[in-house]
Amino acid sequence: MSKAADPTDTFRQEARELLEQLEQALLDLEQNPHDSDLVGSAFRALHTIKGSGAMFGFDEVAEFVHDFETAFDQVRKGKAEISPGLVTIALAAKDHIAQLIAEPGRHAAAGAPILEALRKILTASDTSMGEVAAGSVSDAGSSARTTWNIAFRLPEDALVLGTNPLLLLEELCALGTATVTARADRLPPIETMDPEASYLGWEVVLETDQGREAIEDVFIFLKDGMELTIAPVDVEESARAGPGPASSNGTPAAGRPARSAGSATPSGAKGNSSLRVPAERLDELMDRVGELVIAQARLSQIAAASDDASLKTVAEEIERLASGLRDTTMGIRMVPIGTLFGRFRRLVHDLSGELGKQVEFVTSGEETELDKTVIERLADPLVHIIRNSVDHGLENAQARATAGKATKGTVRLAAVHTGAEVAISISDDGAGLDAARIRQKAEEAGLIAPEARIADEDLYQLIFHPGFSTAREITSVSGRGVGMDVVKRTIESLRGAIDVASKPGEGTTVTLRLPLTLAIIEGMLVRVGKGRYSIPLSAVEECVELSASEADAAKGRNFLNIRGNLVPFLRLRELFRTQAPAELHQKVVIVSAGEQQVGLVVDQILGNSQTVIKSLSKLHADVETFSGATILGDGTVALILDVGHLVRFGQTFEERIRNSQIGRVA
Amino acid sequence: MSKTILTIDDSASIRQMVSLTLTGAGYTVIEAVDGADGLAKATSNPINAVLTDLNMPVKNGLDFIREFRAHPASTGVPIVFLSTESDDAMKAEARAAGATGWIVKPFKPDQLLAVVKKVAGA
C-alpha cells in the first residue's frame, strides 16, 4: 500500500487516543466517583499504554505508568475513594505521560513528585509488584552434559487443540542429541479409534547441557493435563507426574488493549468500521468532485438545448449521480463537534480550580456535524470565549451569593443546525456585559462618537476590536484584550459571524454562526439585470412575486407582509446599480440567516444548480456582499451572495431609514 | 510455502509489531481487530496458528476461542492468547476454552518468534 509507517507513530497515535479516553474517564469520575465502569475504562487505558510503551521502547512511560497504575489499582479494588484531589493528580499524571511520549528522555524527573502526591493521597504505597521487567530465559543453571529420560503423553484432544507433537520433538532434539521412540501401547482398536485423537506416547533419550528447565520449557503450554517425566539417567528416579515450575518469558506487567482504530486496513473501533485517511487525500477528492460538478452542469446545459432524448436521459442520470457523489464526499469531511467539546471539559475543570470558581459545564448538540477543517479552526476561538466566560462573565462565589444566584456558575455550550448554518453558542449565567463601561471605553478609544445612538448589540460587537478590554485587571487567564479580535477574524475567515447577547446581572451568550459546507452547495440562480447570481438553496425560505403596485406602495418602507410577518427587502438592482431595464414583475427570494430574514428582489429566478464555490481573490476579500463565485454550465461566472451579510444588511438598512439617514448602498 | 499466522488484537500498535516481526521471519500474517473479525478470517482462510488477545470489543478472545474451536476449521490449529498478567485463573479459563498456549505481555519480538515457532514450526 503505502510506504511502511514508523512503528512508533502508530503507538503515539494510539497513545494519544488512550490518553484522551483516560482524561474523559477521570473527568467523568469526578462527577460519578462510584462508577466502576469508568474506573475500568481509565485502568484499561493505562494498562494498554504501559504494555505498548514497553514494547516500543518507551521505557520511561512504562515505568511511570506502572507505578501510577499500581496506585490506581487501589481504587479499582475498592481500597481507595475517588476524590477531586485524586482526579487532579491523575490528570497531572496524564499530562506527564503525554510529555514522556512527546519528548522522551527529557522529563523523567517530573514524574516523581506526581507519584509522591498520588501515594500521599492514597496513603498506602503498594509499590512492591515484585517481579522485574526484562524477562530472561530460564536460568542457564546448566552445566555438564547430562543424559535425560523423557517420557510424555499428550491428552487425547491435544492434536485438535493445536498441539503438534512433531514440533515438541523437534524442540527437544534441538537441545542436544536425542533418540526418539514412539509408544503405541494405548492405541484403541481401529473401530473405536478417533483419527483426530492423540494416543501415542513418546520416549526421548536426550543428551544435553541445557539443564532441566530448558526441557520443561518445551512443554510449557501443556503442563496441566499431560503425562511427563523427566529424569536424569544416573539418578534414582521417583516418577514425577507433572512438570516443575515453568518459567515464562516476559514480565507479569502487561497491557489490556483499549479501543483503537485501524491503520491501513479497515478495522473496527467501538463497533463502527472506520478508516484513517490522510487529510490531503480528502481535499484532492473534494477538488475532483468539484470539477466533476462543473463539467456535469455544462453537460446538463448542452442536453437541455439538444433534441437528443437519450442524451437528456443520460445527462439527468449523471446529474443525479454527481449530486449523490457530492453529498457523500461532503459527508466524509463532516465530524461531530462533540470531539471538540471533550477538550473543553478539561479546560473548564482547570480554570475552575485556577480561578477558585465553581463551574458547571453543560454541553448539548454533540452530534452536530461540521467540516473537519472548520472544527479544527474553531478550537482556539472557543477556548478563548469559554475562558472569558469563566474569568470575566461568572462572578465569584460571594458576588453570586449576594445576587441571589447559586454558588455554582453554569457555562453552557450548545451546537445546533439552522438551515444553512451551524450555530454554536456559549452562554454563562454570570454578570453579563456592562454596556455603559463598554461605551465609555469605546468613547475613550475614539471608536464611537459620544452622542451616537448605538444599539446594545452593536456595542457588544466592540469587544472584538483589537486591544479592547474592559477588564479591570489582567489575570493570567485573560484580560489583555488580545484574543477577541483574533476570534472574530478566525470566524470571519470561515465565512461565519459572531453575535453577542447579554442581560446585565443574568449572563451573556456568544453565538458563532458558521456555514455548513465550504465547497459545493446547491444554489438558486437568479438574474439581476444582466448579471447572474447564486443564492445558497439551504438559506432560501420561499419565493414570492413583487407586483408593481405593491412595489409602489412599499416605497420608502421596504417591508413585505408575509403571512403577518414583516420582512424587510433589498432591491438588488439598486444594490448592484443595475442599468438594464427591470422586469415588470420582480421576484422576491426570502432568505434567512439564523432567526432573521430578508427578501432579495431580483429580476428573474433561473433555477437550481449545484454550485462549486470558488473563493474570491485577495483583491476582493473585503467585499462582504459576495461569499465567492462559481462557474456556470456555459462557462460564465456567477457571484454567490453572502446571505448572512445581506440579512444583517437588510436589518441595518431598515434601522438607518428609521434613523433618518439615507444611506446609499455600497 | 510459508506458514500463515492470524493475529487478533484491537491494538493497532500490537498488530503492527506482530506483523512486522513475523513477516520478517518468513511467516504470512493476517490481521483481525476483534474476536468477530478474527472468527470470520479464521474460518475463511487456511491458517497455521492464531495469536489472539483476550480483552477486545465486539467479541472478546475467550468467546473467539470457544467459537473457533466449535468450528471444524480449527482442528489442529494452535491458538496462542496474550496473557495480561501472571494470571493463572485466566490461563486456565483460556485453556479450558481450547487455547493451546500463551505469551505474556509485554513481549519482545524474539519472544514472540520463539512462541510462534514452538507451536507452528518455522
**What's the average model confidence in pLDDT over A100-118?**
80
Q: What is the pLDDT of residues B89-112, one digit of tens each?
A: 888 888 889 999 999 888 888 889
B-interface mutation test, from A221, A251, A274, most B Cβ less than 10 A away: A221
Q: What are the grid coordinates assigned to A293, written together? A: 460538478
What one-letter code names the amino acid at A481?
G
Identify the pLDDT of residue B8.
Answer: 95
**What's the average model confidence in pLDDT over A548-576?**
75
Question: DSSP string of A280-304?
Answer: HHHHHHHHHHHHHHHHHHHHHHHHH
Nearest to A52 among B11, B33, B99 (CB): B11
Distance from CA of B85 to the nearest CA of A (A): 5
**What's the average model confidence in pLDDT over A136-140?**
37
β-pair partners for A151: A203, A229
Give A83-86 contacts, CB < 8 A, sequence gap 24+.
A83/A33, A83/A121, A84/A30, A85/A121, A86/A118, A86/A121, A86/A122
Distance from C-alpha of A165 to C-alpha of A293, rounded to nearest angstrom: 65
Chain A nearest-CA residue for B31: A265
Looking at per-residue pLDDT, the higher value among A145 and A598 belongs to A598
Whether chain A has a CB inside 8 Å of the CB on B57: the answer is yes
Chain B nearest-CA residue for A54: B106
Identify the pLDDT of residue A131.
Answer: 32
Distance from CA of B53 to the nearest CA of A (A): 8
* Subunit contact A257:B14, Cβ cutoff 8 A: yes
Q: What is the pLDDT of residues A325-345, one digit of tens each?
A: 887 887 787 788 888 888 888
Chain A nearest-CA residue for B65: A161
Q: What is the pLDDT of residues A482-504, one digit of tens each?
A: 578 888 888 877 778 888 988 88
Q: What is the pLDDT of residues A28-67, one digit of tens each?
A: 888 888 887 788 788 878 888 888 888 888 888 888 888 8
Q: Using the predicted structure, report yes or no on whether residue A548 has a pLDDT greater than 90.
A: no
Distance from CA of B55 to the nearest CA of A (A): 6
Distance from CA of B113 to the nearest CA of A (A): 12
Residues in chain B: 122
CB atoms near residue A251 (< 10 Å): 22
Strands A626-631 and A637-641: antiparallel
Distance from C-alpha of A1 to C-alpha of A504, rounded to nearest angstrom: 60
Distance from C-alpha of A490 to C-alpha of A484, rounded to nearest angstrom: 10
What one-letter code names the amino acid at A386?
I
Could you tell me the CA-to-CA distances from A509 to A268, A347, A491 in Å, in that order?
40, 19, 16
Whether chain A has a CB inside 8 Å of the CB on B49: the answer is yes
- Split at pLDDT 50, 70, 90, the class of A267 is very low
DSSP helix/strand/coil, B106: coil
Q: What is the pLDDT of residues A196-216, one digit of tens each?
A: 899 999 999 998 888 888 898
* Subunit contact A270:B55, Cβ cutoff 8 A: no
B-interface mutation test, from A248, A265, A272, most B Cβ less than 10 A away: A248
* Subunit contact A10:B78, Cβ cutoff 8 A: no
| Contact residues, chain A, for B81 at CB < 8 Å | none
Please identify among residues 61-100 of chain B the ones whose CB lies closer than 8 Å to any CB of chain A: 69, 74-79, 82-86, 92, 95, 98-100
| Contact residues, chain A, for B54 at CB < 8 Å | 256
Nearest to B55 among A196, A257, A268 (CB): A257
Give A164-172 contacts, CB < 8 A, sequence gap 24+.
A164/B76, A164/B78, A164/B119, A164/B120, A164/B121, A165/A198, A165/A200, A165/A202, A166/B121, A167/B118, A167/B119, A167/B120, A167/B121, A168/A218, A168/A219, A169/A202, A169/A204, A170/B121, A171/A218, A171/B118, A172/A204, A172/A206, A172/A215, A172/A218
Chain A nearest-CA residue for B99: A161
* Subunit contact B111:A135, Cβ cutoff 8 A: yes
Q: What is the pLDDT of residues A369-398, one digit of tens each?
A: 887 778 888 888 898 889 888 888 888 888
Nearest to B119 among A162, A255, A256 (CB): A162
Question: What DSSP designation does A106 have?
Answer: S
| Contact residues, chain B, for A52 at CB < 8 Å | 11, 13-14, 106
User: Whose grid coordinates read 481573490?
Assistant: A617
Give this prediction's pTM: 0.48
Distance from C-alpha of A517 to C-alpha of A374, rounded to nearest angstrom: 9
Distance from C-alpha of A215 to C-alpha of A208, rounded to nearest angstrom: 9
Distance from C-alpha of B94 to C-alpha of B79, rounded to nearest angstrom: 10
* Subunit contact A268:B37, Cβ cutoff 8 A: yes
Distance from CA of A342 to the nearest CA of B (A): 22
* Subunit contact A268:B12, Cβ cutoff 8 A: no
Question: Around A54, how many Cα atoms within 13 Å sit in the side-chain half-sphere?
Answer: 27
Identify the pLDDT of residue A618.
Answer: 65
Distance from C-alpha of A497 to C-alpha of A649, rounded to nearest angstrom: 13
Distance from C-alpha of A80 to C-alpha of B4, rounded to nearest angstrom: 47
Of all residues in chain A, the percent with pLDDT exceeding 70 is 81
CB A133 within 8 A of CB B107: no
**What's the average model confidence in pLDDT over A356-379?**
84
| Contact residues, chain B, for A50 at CB < 8 Å | 106
* Subunit contact B119:A14, Cβ cutoff 8 A: no
Spatial CB neighbours of A472, under 8 Å, sequence gap ≥ 6: none
What one-letter code names the amino acid at A583?
E
A-interface mutation test, from B3, B6, B11, most A Cβ less than 10 A away: B11
Distance from C-alpha of A131 to C-alpha of A109, rounded to nearest angstrom: 24
User: Whose grid coordinates read 500490537?
Assistant: B14
Distance from CA of A53 to the nearest CA of B (A): 9
Identify the pLDDT of residue A467.
Answer: 65
Indicate the average pLDDT of chain B.
90
| Contact residues, chain A, for B49 at CB < 8 Å | 162
Whether chain A has a CB inside 8 Å of the CB on B9: the answer is yes
A-interface mutation test, from B13, B20, B115, most A Cβ less than 10 A away: B13
Angle at A479 (CA atoms; ends A478, A484), nearest 5 degrees? 80
| Contact residues, chain B, for A253 at CB < 8 Å | 85, 105-106
Identify the pLDDT of residue A133.
Answer: 33
* Subunit contact B13:A170, Cβ cutoff 8 A: no
Does residue B57 have a cis bond before it (omega within 30 degrees)? no
Chain B nearest-CA residue for A5: B16
Identify the pLDDT of residue A30.
Answer: 83
User: Whose grid coordinates read 453537460?
Assistant: A299
Distance from C-alpha of A540 to C-alpha of A266, rounded to nearest angstrom: 40
- Split at pLDDT 50, 70, 90, the class of A658 is low
Indicate the average pLDDT of chain A.
77
Could you tell me the CA-to-CA distances from B104 to A131, A486, A616, B81 in Å, in that order?
13, 53, 60, 9
Could you tell me the CA-to-CA distances from A554 to A549, A551, A596, A649 in Å, in that order?
9, 5, 20, 18
**What's the average model confidence in pLDDT over A221-230?**
84
Provide the terminal-to-terminal Cα distance of chain B, rounded to the nearest Å: 11
CB atoms near residue A231 (< 10 Å): 17
The dihedral formed by the CA atoms of A452, A456, A458 and A464, expressed in degrees to the nearest 10: 120
